[in-house]
Structure 1
Amino acid sequence: MDERTADLAYAAGWAMLRRSPDRAGRALFRRLADRSWCARDGGTRGLERNLRRLLGPAGTDAQLRALSKAGMRSYMRYFYEMFRLPAMGREYVLSHTRATGVDALQEHVRSGRGVVAALPHMGNWDHAGAWITMQGTPLTTVAQRLNPESLFQRFTAYRESLGMEVLPLTGGSATVGTLARRLREGGLVCLLADRDINGTGVEVDFFGEKARMPSGPAALALNTGAALMPVSLWYDGPYWNIRVHEEIPVAPGLSRTHRIHGTTQALARVFEGAIAEHPEDWHMLQTVFSADHDEDRARRRERENRAMLRALAPDRGREHAGRSG
Structure 2
Amino acid sequence: MISALLTAIVHHADRIPERAARWAFTRAADFVWLLHLGSVSQLERNLRHVMGPVSHKRLRQVSREGLRSYFAYFCEALTVGGRSQEELLARIRTEGTGFPEPSLSNIKDASLPIAMGHQGNWDYAGFWAGQALGPVTTVAERLADPQLLEDFAQIRRGLGMHILLTGQPGLTQTLTQQVLQEGQVVPLLADRDLSRNGVFVRAFDSYIRVAAGPAVIALDAKLPLYTVNMHRESLATDKRSQAHCDSGYVCSIDGPIDIERYLAMPRQQAVQELTQAWVDQWAEGIRKFPQDWHMMQPIFIEDLDLNRLHQVPDNLRQLMEERAASTTARNQHE
TM range (shorter): 0.7 to 0.9
Name the counterpart of 1:142: 139
Name the counterpart of 2:6: 10
Counterparts of 2:133 and 2:215, CA distance in 1: 25
* Contact 2:218 2:224 survives alignment (8 Å): yes
Matched, 1:82 2:93: no
Counterparts of 1:107 and 1:65, CA distance in 2: 44
Name the counterpart of 2:250: 241
Name the counterpart of 2:29: 33
Q: 1:153 aligns with which of 141, 150, 153?
A: 150
Counterparts of 1:38 and 1:154, CA distance in 2: 30
Q: Report the alpha carbon displacement of residue 41 of structure 1 after superposing the two structures with TM.
A: 1.6
Q: Per-residue CA shift, 1:291-318, capped at 9, x if unaligned?
A: 21137959xxxxxxxxxxxxxxxxxxxx
Q: Report the alpha carbon displacement of residue 16 of structure 1 after superposing the two structures with TM.
A: 4.2
Q: Report the alpha carbon displacement of residue 17 of structure 1 after superposing the two structures with TM.
A: 4.2
Q: 1:133 aligns with which of 130, 134, 156?
A: 130
Q: Per-residue CA shift, 1:195-247, capped at 9, x if unaligned?
A: 11434211111002111111110011011112210011111021211111021
Q: 1:180 aligns with which of 176, 179, 184?
A: 176
Counterparts of 1:275 and 1:105, CA distance in 2: 25
Name the counterpart of 2:271: 260
Query: Runs of 5+ in structure 2 lacking a partner?
Result: 235-246, 310-334
Root-mean-square deviation over aligned CA pairs: 2.0
* Contact 1:106 1:137 survives alignment (8 Å): no
Name the counterpart of 1:302: none
Query: Runs of 5+ in structure 1 lacking a partner?
Result: 299-325
Give the residue type in structure 1 aligned to 2:68: R
Q: Which has the larger radius of gyration?
A: 1
Q: Report the alpha carbon displacement of residue 15 of structure 1 after superposing the two structures with TM.
A: 3.3
Structure 1 residues 150 and 15: CA distance shift in structure 2, 3 A: closer
Give the aligned length.
290
Counterparts of 1:86 and 1:133, CA distance in 2: 16
Q: Report the alpha carbon displacement of residue 48 of structure 1 after superposing the two structures with TM.
A: 0.6
Matched, 1:73 2:68: yes
Counterparts of 1:92 and 1:296, CA distance in 2: 48
Percent of aligned pairs with the same residue?
32
Q: Per-residue CA shift, 1:136-160, capped at 9, x if unaligned?
A: 6211001111122222222212211
Secondary structure of 1:242's aligned partner = strand
Runs of 4+ in structure 1 deviating by more than 6 angstroms, as ranges, are none
